[in-house]
Each structure stands twice: as C-alpha cells, then as structure tokens.
Amino acid sequence: MNIRTLIIDDEPLARGRLRQLLEAESDFEILGEAADGAEAILLAERLRPDLLFLDVQMPEVDGFGVIARLTTDPLPAVIFVTAYDKFALQAFEVHALDYLLKPFDRERFQRALGRARALVQQRQSGDLSRRLSSLITDLKAGKEEVKFIDRLAVKAEGRVLFFKIDDIDWIEAADNYVSIHVGAEEQLHRETMASLETKLPPTRFLRISRSTIVNVERIKEMQPMFHGDYVVILKNGTRLNLSRNYRDKLNHLLGKSSTG
C-alpha cells in the first residue's frame, strides 16, 4: 500500500529536499505541496492524505494550527518539521509522534520514514487521532506556561540562523516580515510585527511605534521632539522615533534606562 503524502513548508528549498528524499521511496506517493497553513488545510481536506510532512513555523497559520483545524476522520499521520520549538519537542516525545529538526540528514530522515509507516498503521485504529488531539491540548497549555521566547530562528537562503533575543538591538516592520537588527547584521524574518511582539518579554522589548520594537537595554538616551514625539538613541548610534501614540511606554522606558 502506498502512503499518500503531502509536503507542507513555506520554504521552497525545504520542500524540495523532502520531495527529493521521498521520491526515492517506492511506498510513498507525493500528492502535492503547500507553502502555507491555509493552503495545507484545503489540500488535506480535499485529498485526505495518509501522512503530512508539516513545518511547525509558518506565518498566519502554523503547523499546530493546521492540525487543530483539520476535520478529516481519521486525521493523517504527521511528521513535524521544525527549526526550533522546545516545548513541541517535549510534546512529540510524550505523544510518540515524530519530528525532523532542521537541518536533518538522510539517516535521520530514514528513521522518520520508519516511524511514519508505523503511524499510518496506527491511524487505522483511531489511536493516532486521540494522541494528536492530546498534543494540541498540551501545546495550548504549554504556550500559556512558556509565553516568551529566548531565541529566534530565522530562515535565510536555505539556512536557519539562530539569534538570542538578548543580542537583538531593534526590530523593524516590513509588510508581512520583520527586519531583525543585531549589531551590523540585518535579517528578514517572515512574521508580522504583532505576532512577534506577543512572543518577546515585555520587560526587555517595547514597541515604540507602529513599525519599531526596541531592546530597552540598548537605549542610550531619548530626546524630546515636537508634539510629544521622542527620538530614541541606541548605544550604537541608531536613532529611532518614539511615536506620541506610544507615550504610555515612556515611563517604562525611562525607568529601564535609568537602572540599566
């Protein structure tokens, strides 16, 4: 029996890597690919695959959101693909699901395929659906307990770069992306400003305008401008605007900078 498979990842290179490895396996049939969570849900509902290779970190609807919104019964088996998600890795172990941690090699992929074959068999019994439901419940609880990230995984030209959030100077909005500034380095990260803001500890990162989040430990001084605006000057000389619409942040900023 062929294992009918969907590949879901927002990175074309990652999808290509999975496709290349799967094409060498005679018992796996690739039904299609999706580049985002919304497209993945539509494909999975229409094609009813046996197995998903599912990226965890995608904009708008992430991998866990895809599973939570599927209505097919039984649910497909899932091999999650992730660059970094500490709580998810723990949950995978608890619920005996499998995952591929980027970057992975062929040997690790082969072990995942062995697990996938077993998962597809379990799918027939309904046990996998129960464990996936339990996983989603635990992930929601875990996100409440582990609210803020301590490092950020940024996909760049087929690589995954890791930044400790303490090393980030400031963050700038760029449509559906954000630009991460770390010293002289600048990297685009596919996530909205609003989404990233909720993941950053508010004691260390403050939004000072619609388009700017700043690491308060990097602030050297602030200078008043017209109409209640301020210029925020970082220790590296970068000048950022604090909008009057964010004046409620001013006392917090002053408190942090005076004790830093």
Assess whether 29 and 106 both reside in one domain.
Answer: yes
Q: Is the pLDDT of residue 257 over 50?
A: no
Q: Which of 6, 7, 9, 5 is nearest to 58 (CA)?
A: 9
Beta strands in 37-92 (DSSP E): 51-55, 77-82
Q: Which of 147, 144, 185, 180 is nearest to 165 (CA)?
A: 180
Q: Is the pLDDT of residue 120 over 70?
A: yes
Assess whether 20 and 57 both reside in one domain.
Answer: yes
The model's pLDDT over 122-137, given as tens digits with 9 standing for 90+, comes to: 665 556 666 666 666 6
As given in the structure block, the two tokens for residue 81 are: 């693909």
Is 156 among the domain residues? Answer: no
User: Can you state the angle between helices 127-145 and 106-123, rounded to 10 degrees?
Assistant: 120
User: Distance (Å, rounded) from C-alpha 208 to C-alpha 234?
Assistant: 13
Q: Is the pLDDT of residue 156 over 70?
A: yes
H or E stretch at 108: helix 106-123
Q: What is the CATH number of the domain that holds 30?
A: 3.40.50.2300
More confident site: 90 or 183: 183
Assess whether 70 and 20 both reside in one domain.
Answer: yes
Is 23 among the domain residues? Answer: yes
Q: Is the pLDDT of residue 192 over 90?
A: no
Q: Is the pLDDT of residue 145 over 50?
A: no
Assess whether 92 and 7 both reside in one domain.
Answer: yes
The whole-number average pLDDT for the span 78-85 is: 78
**pTM of the complete model beyond 0.85:** no
User: Distance (Å, rounded) from C-alpha 194 to C-alpha 39?
Assistant: 22
Q: Which residues contact 226 (CB under 8 A, 6 or more apart)?
A: none
As given in the structure block, the two tokens for residue 212 are: 């700017």
The whole-number average pLDDT for the span 147-165 is: 85
